[in-house]
Amino acid sequence: MMRMKIEVARQERMSESGRSLLRLIQNEEMPLWDLLVRESVQNSLDAALDGEGFVRVDFLIREFERSRLSRHFEGIRERLDELYPLKTYRLLEIRDSNTCGLTGPIEDSNLRMSDYGNLIKLVYHIGKHQQKEGAGGSWGLGKTVYFRIGIGLVIYYSRIFENGEYASRLAACLVEDEEKQDALLGNTGNHRGIAWWGESTADGHRTIPLTEEGKIKEILDDLGVKPFGGTETGTSVIIPFLRDDLRPEYQEFLENGSVAKAEVPWWNHTDHDYIKIALQRWYAPRLMNGNYRHGRWLKASVNGELLEPENFLPAFRIVQNLYNAILAHDGNEETRAEGLVSPLHVSTVNLRGVFANGSVAGWIGYGRFTAEDLKMTPPHNNLSPWMQIFGRELEGDTNPAIICFTRKPGMIVNYESVGKWVEGISRTPKDQFIIGLFVANSVNRLKDDFKRHGIRELTLEEYIRGCEKADHASWQDWVPNKRNPLIIDKIQNQVSRIIERQFRDEQTDVHPQRHALLGKVLADALLPPEGFGNLGNVQPAGRDNRQQRIVLSGVNPVLQQISSPVYTQGHVRLDFRLVSGKRSGIMNFKLRAVTESGTIDSETWEQAESGTGLFFPCEIMFFKLESSNGDERHEEAVWIANRGLLRQEGLRIEPISAPLSGKTVGFRIIGNTKTIYKGSLLMHVTDPTIHVSLHVESATEEELAWA
C-alpha cells in the first residue's frame, strides 16, 4: 500500500498562513461554484497545446470511500477517519486534455531564474503570475478557490511530454484555517495550516511529486480516476470531501423553509446543473465555438454530458451570437442570427490619441431582444435573462441594459446592469432586454507615451490584464506611466453612447411626430446648463445660486436644500431638509422637468397624446430620509435602485414610478405631522439640457382616505 510522505509548512518570517490564503480573494458576491469554474477552466485554457482544435475540460462529481483515500496520507489518516466517519463522501474531479499538463521542475532547487513552470506555480507556490501572452490570470491567487470547496485538501495528477518523454506526476496539498478546532493538522505541532504530500527528497526535508507510474495508479484507482494513456497529456485536479452548500441561496432556502424549491432557478437544484450553467455564463464566447480565433476553443462536459450550443440558456446563446457577429464584422452594422427575431448590431469603439496602430479599442455587439428571442414564451417558458445571468429577478416595470465584456481568453469578465457601462442607456419595457458584449482589440499597441518604464511595448491586452483584480471580475484603469490613458473609462462612455444612439434613432424613426410634441410641451428651447453633462466637472459647494440646476418647490410642507447640488457625469447629488406641516403626515415627493412655462411631471411627459411620448429624462438612483427632531426615537428609510428598500425603521416610503419607462421619479412619504426630516438623494439625468425640479406636496384627500 502506497502512503505519501507529509511535509508540514512551519512558521516562518513573512510567510502566509492557511487562514490568510483562504481569504486572499475577497469576492463575496460571486458564488463559489462560479469562482471555481472561472478559475479552473482558465487554468486549463492557459495550458492549451499549440495548434488548432479544442481543449477539453470535464467536470465529474462522484462518491469515493473515505478509508481508501485516507490510508495514502501520512500524518492525517487518523484525523480524517475521526472527523469524517461515514463510509463514502463526494469528490469533484476537473480533468483537462489537449493541454501541456503540470510541466517544469519538480523542486525549487532546479529552478532557473523566474521559470517556475506549471507544477511549482500551481502546487507549491502562491502569487506567481501567469506570463503567457493572452493568459487569463496574472496574479496567481485564483487557485485558492480550490481549497474552499472541500476541506482544503486537493490532489493534483498530471501527464506531460517533456524532453522527448512522457511522464506522470501526482502530489497533494492542504490549505486550511489553522485556528479551527477540527483542523486536520491539529496534532502536528507549530504549523500554519499548509502541508504537501508526495515522496521525500534526498535530504528528507521536503516532498516532491510521485513519478512512479505504479504508485500513482494505486492512488488513482482508489479515487476512481482514469489514468491518462497513449499520447494524451493533461491534468486532473481532484477535490475530495466536496461541500454540500456551494449552490447560492438554495441550501439556506431549504433549511429555513422560507422559500419554496420552485422559487429558485432549476439549475440550483443540483451541483452538476449549476456547473453547466456557470460554464455557459462565463465562457459563452469560447465554449463549443469553433469560430474562436485566439487559440483552441473550449469543449466541456459535466458528468459525461457534453454541452452543446443548442442547449445553452437563451441569454448565453445570444452572447455567443454577439461574439461571432463581432468576429464576422465587415463594416455592416446589422446582421441576423438563427432563431432570433431581433437583429444584432456591431459597432467599432474608437479612441483617439491612445494607440499606435489606428484608433480601434474593440467592438460592441448588442441588440434589443424580445421575450420571444429569449424563449420566455410558450412552449419554452424560459426564465428571464435576469435569472439566467444574476440568479434573481429584477423588480420594477422596466429593464436596464446588460453589458458584458471580454478580452483574448474569451472569458466573460462580468455582466453589468448598473454603473459606467450602462449609464446613459435608456431602459426598455419589461418584455424587452438590451444585451451587449464588448470585445477588446487585444493586439492594438498603446503609444510610447503610455509605456511602462523598461517595457518595450504595451498592448491593449496587457493593459487590460493589469486592470483586472485578482478575481478578474472587473476592469479599472491604472497608470502604466505618469500619464493615465483612461482607456476603460473612455470605452465605457463610448459603449453607452453607441447603444443609446442606435435605439433612440429607432424610436425616432417609428414616432417622428414626437419631436413636434416635445416642442409643443416645452414651448421654447431650454437653456443648456453650464458645466453639466459628460464634460462637466463637480461643482464646488457655495457656487452662485443662479448657476444651480435644481429647483425646489414646496410651501406646506416646506422643502429646503442644505448645500449646493453636486454635479458629475450625468448625476446630481443633493442634501435637503423637509418640514411637514400640520396636515402633511403623508407627502408626495416627486421629480419634475422644468420648462419656460412651468414644470411637467412624469405622467404628463410620457403621454403620447398630450406629452412627448418619450421616457422621462431623470430618475432617482438613491434616496435616504431620516427624522431629525432631536428626540430619542430615530426613524430612517434607505432605498437604492435595483435593490429596493434596504432599511425602513419607523418611517415608511413607497417608490413612485413613471407610467411608461417605470423609472423611479419620487416617493410617497408616510410619517408624522410637524416633523423635520433630513434627506439625501442621487439622480441620474439622461438629457443634460433639461432642468430638474423637486416638488413636495401633501397627499390629496383621496390619497389620505386610501392610506
The band of 667, judged by pLDDT with boundaries at 50, 70 and 90, is very high
Q: What is the reported pLDDT for 247?
A: 84
Q: Are strands 88-97 and 54-65 parallel, antiparallel or unpaired?
A: antiparallel
Lowest-confidence region among 289-293, 429-433, 623-627: 623-627
- CA pair distance 691, 593, nearest whole angstrom: 6
CA distance 675 to 627: 7
- Say whether the peptide bond before residue 529 is cis (omega within 30 degrees of 0): no
Ramachandran bin of 35, using left for φ above 0, alpha for ψ from -120 to 50, beta for the remaining angles: alpha
Dihedral angle sign, alpha carbons of residues 112, 115, 121, 123 = negative
**Rounded Cα–Cα distance for residues 423 and 406 (Å):** 19
**pLDDT at res. 411:** 95
Between residues 220 and 573, the one the model is more confident about: 220
The 10s digit of each residue's pLDDT in 390-403 is 998 988 889 999 99
pLDDT digit string, tens, across residues 131-147: 555 454 444 567 889 99
Largest CA distance in the chain: 91
Predicted local distance difference test score (pLDDT) of residue 609: 67
In sequence order, what DSSP letters do the residues of 339-363 get, joined into one string? T-SSPEEEEEEE-TTSBSS-SEEEE
Give dist(CA 706, CA 609) in Å, integer: 29
Distance CA 473, CA 603 (A): 39
- Partner residues linked to 627 by β-bridges: 677
Q: How far apart are CA 452 and CA 450, in angstroms?
A: 7
Q: Is the dihedral of CA 538, 539, 542, 545 positive or negative?
A: negative
* Of the listed ranges 178-187, 323-332, 454-463, the one predicted with least confidence: 454-463
Q: Please name the residues in contact with 202: beta carbons below 8 A apart, sequence gap of 6 or more.
A: none
Contact 30, 473 (CB under 8 A): yes
Q: How far is CA 638 from the centre of its chain?
A: 24
pLDDT of amino acid 706: 45
Rounded distance between C-alpha atoms, residue 308 and residue 16, angstroms: 42
Distance from C-alpha of 357 to C-alpha of 367, rounded to nearest angstrom: 29
Expressed in percent and rounded to 5, the helix, strand and coil fractions of the chain are 25, 30, 45
Q: Is 204 exposed, middle or buried (0-12, 13-18, 19+ CB in 10 A)?
A: exposed
